[in-house]
Every structure is written in structure tokens, then in C-alpha cells.
Structure 1
Amino acid sequence: MATLSSATRSTLRKQLRDFLSRCESSSSSSQGHLPLILYPSPDAFPPRVSGALHISVLDSSFNPPSNAHLALSTLVPPASTSEHPNAHLLLFSATNADKGTGRSGDLKPENRLDLMLLLAKDVEAALKGAGQEANVFVGLVDKPLMGDKSSLIHALLRQHGHTPAVHSEGAHASDGASPARLHYIVGTDTLVRFFEPKYYGGQEGFERVCRQFFEVERTRFLCVKRPASRNSADAEQVKKEEEEVLSRANIRRRVECGDVVVVDVPEAEGISSTRVRKLLQGSQPAEQKRTELKQLVTPSIAEYLLNEQSIWME
């Protein structure tokens, strides 16, 4: 990787393997491990900012990262939202609520880490180019559900004197701690899964998680609308499906009080990790593949994927 020395890359990969090993050996634990910040370094998180700390969290499989991930990482909330992120966390989960530890054909965690580090550099460059604070971090977490992840991130923040932001904008906790709020970037499918009681053992568990997530930790969802299709019939269907999701009682309540903010990210239209994987596994001529790939991912990630083609055959 052009941005990291081989020694640094080796060290980070070892930290990743050690973290995953600890997670595997204690998978029965209900507590989970504190998130591990790998980039730029564990002691760099959380960053020092003026006022409240607002962290956008892009929690993804990064399999691999695409230009859609870049657009989501740098999105600007609507003008009606007074709280804008001044830190950005790219978060990789060791397990997934539906997929477990992964599926056949997925990138190895070491490769995903390499790619997340490249994406972090690209996010930093994009933020600096837009005149924004470039506090970008890469982290690992071992719990699949967002409620647990939010609690673990806040546990890490508390170690550094941050507590969940209270309702009054800019207010501080009574003990003098600095307020912090997480802004979780999700799509409508992920939003629906969060509000499914089956993931929490029933309605009582679901309501308990919601109280902790929204009321105690004050975590907010930035829900990204699906890109409009060029086909008018498809576009109308997508619109109806999104309206149906946002009108569900549990979700509508959170939209109305600002805990769920709907955002539009047109730059992500037509781009997905699945499309990138299919292209790399296809039989197109090398030059055609390179040209198409550079429309889907950043130049540094394209170079890595083309140079490491063997990872798709493992």
C-alpha cells in the first residue's frame, strides 16, 4: 500500500487478528469488547474539537469499499439539522446479525482493513477539500447489533471524558464531561432491521434497546434514501416502499422527533460493493476492467484491487 509502510501494515494486521481472536474466544460474552481504533492510532480517538463532539459512523462490511462509501462518509446532513459531524468513524464489525462472520467469497478481514485505510485517506482528502475538519478513524467492533455498537462506542468515549449529548444543544453533563453524539449512517433496509423486535428477543427487549439508543445515548440515524431509478416505474415503486417504511409507527415517531433524519446522497446512485465484486470476477479485458473499476471506486482502491486480484480467487 502506497500510504503505509510494510511494517505499519503488518502491525495493524496483527492487531486485527488479535482482536478477532479475542472476539472468537469470548463470543458467549454478553458485554463485548471496547472498539479497537486502528487508524490513525488508538490514542488519537476521540479527537479534540471545540464544543460538542459529533461522530458520523459508517458501519459497513467494506466488501470492498466503493465510491458510495466515500459519498456516505462525507455526506452533509440537511440544513434543518443543526448538528453536523466533526469526526468520522469507519467501523467494521467482526460479526453480522444475519451473515454471522461472513460468507464464501467475501474478502478476508486483512484485505478489508487495507481497503478501509485507503478509504480513510480518501475521506480525509475529500473533507479537507471541502474545508471541513478531517478527523477520520478506522475502528473494529465485535457486536452485530447497532444498539450494542452504540453502547460500546460510548463506553470508549466515557474513558476519555465524554458522555452522551443531552437534549439541549451544546449543553454539558452536570459532572463537567464533554457531550458526544453518534450519527449512524444507514440505508432503509438497515433501518428496518433495527426496528425488528426479533433481533432483541421480543418487544420488551426491543423497547429497552430503543430507550438506551435514542433516549440515553442520544444516537441518531442518518437514513439515506435509495437513489432514484432512471426508470419512472421503478422510481415510483422505490418511493412508495420508502414512504411505507417511514410511516411505520415506531419509525415515524423517531422521524418526527429528529432521531431519524432522511438524507439524499445522489453520488451513490448505481454503485455497490456487489457491482465491484462482479466486475473484478468477470472476464472483461484488463484495460476495460480498469476503466470501469475507476468509475466505481477511488484511484487508490482501484489500484489495490487490480494488484491483488488473487484475493477474489481464495
Structure 2
Amino acid sequence: MSQPASSANPHPTPSHNHTRTSSTESQTQRQKNQEMLSQIRSTAPSLLHKLQTGLSKLPVELVWAAHSHWPLRYPNTTSSPTASPSSGQKSQRPIRISILDSSFNPPTLAHLALANSPRPRYTSEQGDGDCGEPPDYDAKLLLLSVKNADKSLKPGDATYLQRLEMMGLLAQDVHTHPASHHGHNVAIAIIDEPTFVGKSRVLQEYLRVRLASLSPTPSPADSDSEVQGHPTQLSFIVGLDTLERLFSPRYYAPAPGEDESVTAEQNMISALSRMLSPYPSGDDSLIVCARRAVTLPSDVAPKSACLEIGERMGWMKSSTRQDSEESGERLHGSLGSATIPKDERIVMIDIGDRESRFSSTAVRNARFRAGDSGSHAEGPWKEWVTKSVAEYIEEGGLYIQQS
């Protein structure tokens, strides 16, 4: 005998529950996004004006942060960036912050892949993280470089405010400390400093001031060494094009009044040495560079000149040596020190062939072509950005005019 239809399934099916849960989560995330955008809209215009008119004490301003204690971890977390799992004591190590500096015009899935890339496995830190795993970044920063006037923006470009809002949407998908309930330790800042060497110096100084302002009432887990001595270690996450500019002597020409006998390349080597040298002789900054995607033999180009300089100066391993170590064949063991070895100050990483192909220029061009055909909402560009960024671009009518 068949059962009555009413008793066959007295409870909602899992798919119904899943749909209801997904809908609730979507509404919650949409509300969080709106609150974040509202905060950026209320603070960013005045901060942009302050920075562009030279009224800032330092050429950098924090626009938005996931919580008020950034870059310290969320106050209620039980995990400390300075805790040593093996000894139970605090180690004198800096707060590790990743810096993703870009024009974000618009932010793409490549930006997201870079921002979410795990911290490289440095030989001096094997097993130094939680549960014996290599340590991750303690905090992350999305950084927008701005010019002195909006007139430098090209027709069709998103304004700085629009880019900051899209960065805020991207930041919702950027994570730190996945094992922690309070793992969203991300912030957004603007800076008016043309070179990475200058950005390293300015950000270190800014963070010293910020940490000092937080030090009177830090959480118990974030006290001691975090705000004393050498508080921060910056890792600049870049693409190969950016690394090539970093190693371009034309950006290091002697300033008026400086010794003209010193060449631009000598200036470059000196400036990068200060940036990459361990504290206290240098900034103790690091560079993490994503490789280009290679799918065909013809895509393989001769070694970039910037990589040759990096290897010659001893700031990075040869490509052959680094590849062998990444495959698990360590050429030297732990140094027993928190100092990153000189030949690991610049390291190469992979973010995935698919992600590495998404560029802001491609999004703008595809969006324009779709608009030119009379169908702004169509086109492959939506697959190259996050859903929230795609919706923002559509609602704002961005990139319809060709830049």
C-alpha cells in the first residue's frame, strides 16, 4: 500500500533548506557590503582631498579596516601573531603584513588570487606557524596609489572613489587566518608615493605611528613585542610587470642637487638594498612575485632582466634552484632564526594559469565591446571579476566609454 503523500516527506528537503540558508547568507553579505560601502563613501572623499593637497602628515591614509585594531588581530581572538607554539613564549618577531598595491581599475580575480595567496615557505620559518604549519600573514592591506589630481584619469576610467568602493567589495573575499573565527584582518589605504622603495619607507613609518596609538589598550594577546622595537614586516605582492618596473633604473635617476656621478642603477641598487635588508639596517620588506601563465612553448620568453639583477645581487635564488625547492627538495634546512635569508627576499609564486590571465585592461575592453554592441550586461568580463564587483560595474555604468 502506498503511503499518503502528506506523510512521505514531512520535513523540508535538504535542497529547500540549502536554498533558504543560501538566500539568508546572500542577504547578510549584501547588507555587510552596503554598510562597508557607506563607510567608504563617508570617509574617502575627505581623505583623498587631504592626501592630494598635501595636508596629510604622511602621504598615506587608511580608508577602511575590518576592525579598529588593524593590523593587530581582532581583539577577541585567542591566537597571537607573536606566540611560539613550541615554547609557549612570545617570540620577538614582527607583524607580517601583505601589501597588494594596484590601480584596481577594476579589481579582478587575479587581484583576489594575489591577495589570497599563502605566505611563501621561507627556510628560516619551517614549522613556525600554528600547529607546526608555515606561518601565514597576520594582516593584509589593499593599497591604491593616487595622483595629485583626478585630471590624470583617462576617459572611461573609474574614479578613485569608485575604485576604493570596488576594493571594499573585493576585500570581503580576502581572508587571513582561516582557522580563526576572526580571520578577516584586511584594510584599504591610499598612498601618494611613486616608488615601492618609498612606499615601503612610508608604510613602515605610518604603521609605527598607528601601532603606538593602539598600544595603550591592546588585547592581552597583542601586547609586548608587536608594538615594540621592529613591529612590522611588509610583503609586497606583485606581478612580473611590476617587478620589472621595480628593477628599472629610470625610476631611480639622481634628484636635482644630488651627486651626478652616481648612476641611476647605483641609486637603484642602494635603494633596494635598504628596502630588502633585515631590520635594523633596512626596512626588512619582502617581495612576492607571481609568475606569468605559460601554456605554449612560444610563451616562454628569455629570462627577464629584473630576475637577472635579483639573482646577481643575491636577493633571490636562481629559477632552477627555486623550482627544485618548491617541489620539496630543500637545499638547506632551517636557519634557526626569524630572519629571512638574503636569497629569499624576493620569491616567485604561482597563482594559477586561469587567474593570472585576468587583467583590468581586458575587463575594461570587454565591457566596452559589450556596450558598443548594445548589450552592456553581456560579455565574458563578468567571469573575470567577483560577482559583487560585476554588479557594481553594471549598476554604475562603468567602462562603457573607451579609455
Aligned to 1:135: 185
Q: CA RMSD in A?
A: 3.5
Alignment of structure 1 residues 8-23 onto 2, 5 Å: 9-23=37-51
Q: In structure 2, what residue type is equivalent to 1:86?
A: D
Following TM superposition, by how much is the alpha carbon of 1:75 offset from its aligned partner in structure 2, in angstroms?
0.5
Following TM superposition, by how much is the alpha carbon of 1:25 offset from its aligned partner in structure 2, in angstroms?
2.2
Aligned to 2:59: 33
Q: Which moved more, 1:302-311 or 1:103-112?
A: 302-311
Q: In structure 1, what residue type is equivalent to 2:49?
A: S
Aligned to 2:71: 46
Aligned to 1:231: 296
Aligned to 1:259: 345
Tell whether 2:271 aligns with 1:209.
Answer: yes
Tell whether 2:235 aligns with 1:183.
Answer: yes
Distance 1:251 1:282, change over 3 A: farther
Is the 2:156–2:400 Cα contact (8 Å) retained in structure 1? yes
Instruction: Work out the CA distance in 2 between the residues paired with 1:92 and 1:50.
Output: 26
Is the 1:35–1:142 Cα contact (8 Å) retained in structure 2? no
Distance 1:11 1:245, change over 3 A: closer
Please list every run of 5 or more consecutive structure 2 residues that lacks an aligned counterpart in the other structure: 1-28, 74-79, 83-93, 126-134, 214-223, 255-263, 318-342
Instruction: Work out the CA distance in 2 between the residues paired with 1:195 and 1:9.
Output: 36
Is the 1:70–1:122 Cα contact (8 Å) retained in structure 2? yes
Tell whether 2:132 aligns with 1:106.
Answer: no
Instruction: Work out the CA distance in 2 between the residues paired with 1:134 and 1:241.
Output: 37
Instruction: Work out the CA distance in 2 between the residues paired with 1:46 and 1:251.
Output: 34
Distance 1:105 1:130, change over 3 A: farther
Tell whether 2:86 aligns with 1:86.
Answer: no
Please list every run of 5 or more consecutive structure 1 residues that lacks an aligned counterpart in the other structure: 163-171
Alignment of structure 1 residues 89-168 onto 2, 5 Å: 89-95=141-147, 101-124=152-175, 128=178, 133-159=183-209, 160-161=211-212
Following TM superposition, by how much is the alpha carbon of 1:304 offset from its aligned partner in structure 2, in angstroms?
1.2
Following TM superposition, by how much is the alpha carbon of 1:155 offset from its aligned partner in structure 2, in angstroms?
1.0
Q: In structure 2, what residue type is equivalent to 1:84?
A: D
Is the 1:58–1:89 Cα contact (8 Å) retained in structure 2? yes
Aligned to 2:22: none
Largest Rg, 1 or 2: 2
Aligned to 2:130: none
Instruction: Work out the CA distance in 2 between the residues paired with 1:205 and 1:252.
Output: 14
Secondary structure, aligned partner of 2:242? helix
TM-score between the two structures when normalised by the length of structure 1: 0.79
Following TM superposition, by how much is the alpha carbon of 1:311 offset from its aligned partner in structure 2, in angstroms?
5.7
Instruction: Work out the CA distance in 2 between the residues paired with 1:287 and 1:129.
Output: 40
Is the 2:95–2:231 Cα contact (8 Å) retained in structure 1? yes
Q: In structure 2, what residue type is equivalent to 1:248?
A: I
Instruction: Work out the CA distance in 1 between the residues paired with 2:291 and 2:34.
Output: 39
Tell whether 2:358 aligns with 1:271.
Answer: yes
Q: Which moved more, 1:106-115 or 1:194-203?
A: 194-203
Tell whether 2:307 aligns with 1:246.
Answer: yes
Q: Which moved more, 1:178-187 or 1:81-90?
A: 81-90
Aligned residues: 293
Aligned to 1:68: 110
Q: In structure 1, what residue type is equivalent to 2:355?
A: A
Deviation string 1:115-165 (CA, Å, 9 cap, x unpaired) is 0000000113x8749999331111111112111111121112212149xxx
Secondary structure, aligned partner of 1:123? coil
Deviation string 1:207-256 (CA, Å, 9 cap, x unpaired) is 4422331121110000111111x33212x22xx244x5312367652104
Is the 2:177–2:183 Cα contact (8 Å) retained in structure 1? yes
Secondary structure, aligned partner of 1:35? strand
Instruction: Work out the CA distance in 2 between the residues paired with 1:249 and 1:106.
Output: 34
Q: Which moved more, 1:265-274 or 1:217-226?
A: 265-274
Instruction: Work out the CA distance in 2 between the residues paired with 1:94 and 1:121.
Output: 22
Secondary structure, aligned partner of 1:85? coil
Distance 1:17 1:288, change over 3 A: closer
Following TM superposition, by how much is the alpha carbon of 1:269 offset from its aligned partner in structure 2, in angstroms?
3.1
Secondary structure, aligned partner of 2:344? coil
Following TM superposition, by how much is the alpha carbon of 1:184 offset from its aligned partner in structure 2, in angstroms?
0.4
Distance 1:180 1:277, change over 3 A: same
Instruction: Work out the CA distance in 2 between the residues paired with 1:312 and 1:127.
Output: 38
Following TM superposition, by how much is the alpha carbon of 1:11 offset from its aligned partner in structure 2, in angstroms?
4.8
Following TM superposition, by how much is the alpha carbon of 1:280 offset from its aligned partner in structure 2, in angstroms?
1.2
